[in-house]
Structure 1
Amino acid sequence: MDKFLENLEYTSKGTWYPIGVAIIVFLFMVFMHKRLSWRQNFFAFCVIGYMTWTIDVIVGSYIDVFDLGKKHSEGIGEFVSYAVIPESLYVIYLNYLKQEKKWLYALFFTVLSFLFEWGLVKVGYMKLTGWRTWYTIPVYFGVFGFILPWLLQLLRREFSVENKKQNI
């Protein structure tokens, strides 16, 4: 049990920050008014989770441009930074997205995501090694401006029977 608690890294510098943000965005996602069905939200959460973990392995492990928490160790803060926060934010985005305001929403959520990442660096939880926080701005904008709207179209098409029932 002691080894398990040690591996959680809950005492690492700044761990409180990703845990606090994860609680806030997850609770918001759970209790917000949803325009998508629970199946669409669940599917989006899982697909985004897979993409987030894959990108973490490539950029964080293979290219090794940043570390969260202790180097070569994955604790609770890193877990929620990859398995709760992005997925919750993206599901919130998908539920609020209106095509006529797509670029405004993309800009707002890009800034929100950037501020979260910047906060990770400021509290000392994220250590940059060859990376700059602002490098992710075009990545976030591409995700919010192009990838997630495409995913939303896919969700609506694939779950069209359910959409007819809910008049989405």
Structure 2
Amino acid sequence: MYQYYYKTKDFGICLMEAVGAGEEAIIPADKEILIVGDDLFKGHKELERVEFPDTIIEIGGFVFDGCEKLKSVKLPANLNDFWQYAMTRCGIEAIEIPGSVARIASFTFNQCDQLKTVKINEGTEKILAWAFRDCVRLEDVYLPTTIKEISDKAFEGCPNVKIHRK
């Protein structure tokens, strides 16, 4: 069970800290949380499932770093941005990225060595260099028609990746 701590800023509410432990973290939808701060679940090796409310528009850096057992993350439908290293070194096997994310930043999914499948929804336009660096098991990436730019280094260290375009 996690207890959450927030900070109110000029721009709105930021989720700053998660204290406790558990296999599941469901972020409460009773507040208008806009941003998930850095390192929120960093090192929580027991964490398996996370669900964010749709009010969140940004996920900070290193939020899931070292969450080796993390298998399921429900991203907010209105997410605009992942910061660098947001999902780095976590255990997710599949992820669906909402189309509200205009670009996937460098190192967002760095060293997610269990990641096999990525589905990016209509609306996303860019995948920056090293966005999926060293995702050694990544096999299938499903791209929307809105993708305009993919760095030639976006999938560096992903030896078996296949890009599927609509």
Q: State the TM-score, normalized to the length of structure 1.
A: 0.20
Greater helix proportion: 1
Q: State the TM-score, normalized to the length of structure 2.
A: 0.20
Q: Which has the higher contact order (CA 8 A, sep 6+)?
A: 1
